[in-house]
């Protein structure tokens, strides 16, 4: 049903040290916000970023935008303080960077349980190291093993993947497609949400739109983005078109007709549809209803 569907078409990062961005985000049409304490924040701004981000989450005012805090990794000088403060702020999720194996997720899930964090605080995991790709099956499967069923989303970090593998970031992303699709299959096998990596060329809005469309074609739930100008391309690309919705409604209606009750396959407007297509059709309609209900 549309009411259960959480839109994550556009998920906007912002440096936690940038108070202006934290404020501006309250008015932007992004579905979710990642308030970053990690790579977007310089070492000497880590403490102020932590304070600002946790204060912003506690104060609220972001409407129905999901709020995610990206902490520094546990082995860094800031990891422990970030995690403690983030748990206390109770965001919708804590995003763990550079997750290379399930072990780090287990330790965070245990911490959340030990500190009695509400069930609503989920864990999101960045998939951005070569080891995370090799261990993706175990990382995704840890959803079933962690206490509190907290792992709900994987987020690709294509900049870090490029850095560590030496793969080039090129239009069409051919060098990365095997890793992208492996992560996508692992996420879907476990019923996790999965978000695509960022498009760095802020000035190239058309290029961003092309990559968002590719991202939707590949099967992602949404795109992580880095600038307000990338929100509209992401929201538009992940919305089913009018034509898709009309076709989806027709598929549902035709299979609902009594004379088709026992048919497995049907030809509609020259194309073959099987019963499995009803689920996809319902998803398209539910997405449209969720977008209409949201108003953007
Ligand atoms: C890249 C930026 C530093 C550019 O900022 P700026 O120079 O201020 O751009 P503009 O002048 O064009 O900004 C126009 C207005 O929009 C606001 N703004 C800009 N960016 C954001 C944002 N991300 N969120 C909210 N608001 C934003 C500006 O404040 C201006 O507002 P106003 O003054 O009222 O007009 C900046 O865009 C930026 O910091 N972006 C995010 C960078 C970031 O978070 N990077 C980390 C994540 S990417 C990553 O590493 C993923 C992964 O880990 C991987 O490995 O791939
Ligand atoms: Mg990264």
- Note the pLDDT of residue 29: 98
**Per-residue pLDDT, 147:** 87
Pocket of ligand 1 contains residue 36 by CB under 6 Å: yes
The answer, yes or no, to whether residue 164 has pLDDT greater than 90, is: yes
What's the pLDDT tens digit per position in 3-23?
468 999 999 999 999 999 999
Please report the pLDDT score of residue 207 as a whole number: 98
| In a shared domain, residues 88 and 225 | yes
Does residue 21 have its Cβ closer than 6 Å to ligand 1? yes
Q: How far is the CA of 204 from the centre of ligand 2 (A)?
A: 21
Mean pLDDT of 130-146: 97
| Residue 219 and residue 251 share a domain | no
User: Are 224 and 193 contained in the same domain?
Assistant: yes
Domain count, the chain: 2
Residue 100 has pLDDT above 70, yes or no: yes
Best of 11, 14, 96, 98 for a ligand 1 pocket test (most atoms within 8 Å of beta carbon): 14
The CATH code of the domain that includes 38 is 3.20.20.60
Report pLDDT for 257. 96
Give the pLDDT mean for 29-38.
Answer: 98
Q: Assess whether 119 and 93 both reside in one domain.
A: yes
Taking the CA atoms of 44, 16, 69 and 85 in sequence, report the sign of the dihedral they define.
positive
Beta-bridge partner residues of 274: 265
| For the CA of 40, the nearest ligand | 1
Q: Which of 22, 160, 227, 232, when mutated, tests ligand 1's pocket best, judged by the most ligand atoms within 8 Å of its CB?
A: 227
113-126: per-residue pLDDT in tens? 998 999 999 999 99
Distance CA 72, CA 164 (A): 18
Pocket test for ligand 1, best of 37, 76, 125, 226 (most atoms within 8 A of CB): 226
Same domain, 130 and 250: no
What is the rounded average pLDDT for all residues in the chain? 96
Last residue of some domain: 213, 237, 261?
237
Query: Above 50 in pLDDT, residue 1?
Result: no
Based on the domain organization, do 61 and 9 belong to the same domain? yes
Strands 193-196 and 66-70: unpaired
Average pLDDT over residues 131-135: 98
Q: Is the pLDDT of residue 148 over 90?
A: no
Same domain, yes or no, for 163 and 248? no
Q: Distance from the CA of 162 to the center of ligand 2, in angstroms? A: 10
Shared domain check, 55 and 68: yes
Residues 280, 208 share a domain: no
Averaged pLDDT for residues 242-251: 97
Mean pLDDT, residues 216-231: 98
Q: How many helices (H) and strands (E) does the chain have?
A: 12, 10
ipTM above 0.95, yes or no: yes
**Residues 21, 117: one domain?**
yes
Q: Are residues 226 and 151 in the same domain?
A: yes
Containing structural domain, residue 11: 2-237
Interacting residues of 34 by C-beta distance below 8 A, sequence separation 6+: 11, 12, 13, 14, 68, 69, 70, 95, 224
C-alpha 281/C-alpha 248 separation (Å) is 4
Centre of ligand 1 to C-alpha 85, Å, is 23
- Write down the pTM of the prediction: 0.97
Q: For 172-221, what is each residue's pLDDT tens digit?
A: 999 999 999 999 999 999 999 999 999 999 999 999 999 999 999 999 99
- Residue after which a domain boundary falls, among 237, 271, 286: 237
**Of 237, 262, 282, which residue constitutes the final position of a domain?**
237
CA 36 vs. chain centroid, Å, equals 15
Q: Please report the sign of the dihedral spanned by the C-alpha atoms of residue 22, residue 197, residue 237, residue 276.
A: negative
Is there a single domain that holds both residue 147 and residue 268?
Answer: no
Whole-number Å distance, alpha carbon 226 to ligand 1 midpoint, is: 5
Given a cut of 60, is residue 2 above it in pLDDT? no
pLDDT for 4 equals: 66
Cβ-Cβ contacts under 8 Å for 127 (sequence gap 6 or more): 99, 133, 136, 139, 154, 155, 156, 157, 183
Q: For ligand 1, atom 11, which residue shows the shortest CA distance?
A: 227
Tell me what pLDDT residue 50 has: 98
Ligand nearest to the CA of 158: 1
How far apart CA 185 and CA 179 sit, in angstroms, is 10
Across the range 231-253, mean pLDDT stands at 97
């Amino acid at each position: 049903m549309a009411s259960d569907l959480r839109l994550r078409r556009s998920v906007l990062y912002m440096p936690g040290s940038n108070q202006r961005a934290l404020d501006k985000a309250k008015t932007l049409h992004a579905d979710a916000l990642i308030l970053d304490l990690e790579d977007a924040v310089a070492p000497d701004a880590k403490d102020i970023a932590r304070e600002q981000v946790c204060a912003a989450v506690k104060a609220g005012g972001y409407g129905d935008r999901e709020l995610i805090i990206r902490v520094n990794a546990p082995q860094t000088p800031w990891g422990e303080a970030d995690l403690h403060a983030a748990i206390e702020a109770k965001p919708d999720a804590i995003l763990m960077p550079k997750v290379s194996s399930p072990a780090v997720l287990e330790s965070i899930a245990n911490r959340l349980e030990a500190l009695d964090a509400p069930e609503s605080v989920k864990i999101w995991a960045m998939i951005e190291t070569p080891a995370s790709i090799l261990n993706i099956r175990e990382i995704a499967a840890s959803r079933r093993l962690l206490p509190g069923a907290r792992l709900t989303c994987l987020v690709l970090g294509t900049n870090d993947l490029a850095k560590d593998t030496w793969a080039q970031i090129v239009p069409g992303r051919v060098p990365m497609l095997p890793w992208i699709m492996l992560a996508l299959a692992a996420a879907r096998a476990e019923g996790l949400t999965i978000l695509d990596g960022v498009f760095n060329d802020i000035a190239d809005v058309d290029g961003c739109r092309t990559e968002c469309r590719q991202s939707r074609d590949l099967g992602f739930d949404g795109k992580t983005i880095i600038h307000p100008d990338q929100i509209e391309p992401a929201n538009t690309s992940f919305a089913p078109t009018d034509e898709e919705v009309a076709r989806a409604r027709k598929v549902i209606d035709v299979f609902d007709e009594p004379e088709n009750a026992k048919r497995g396959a049907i030809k509609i407007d020259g194309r073959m549809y099987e019963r499995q297509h009803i689920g996809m059709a319902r998803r398209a309609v539910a997405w449209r209803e969720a977008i209409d209900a949201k108003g953007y």
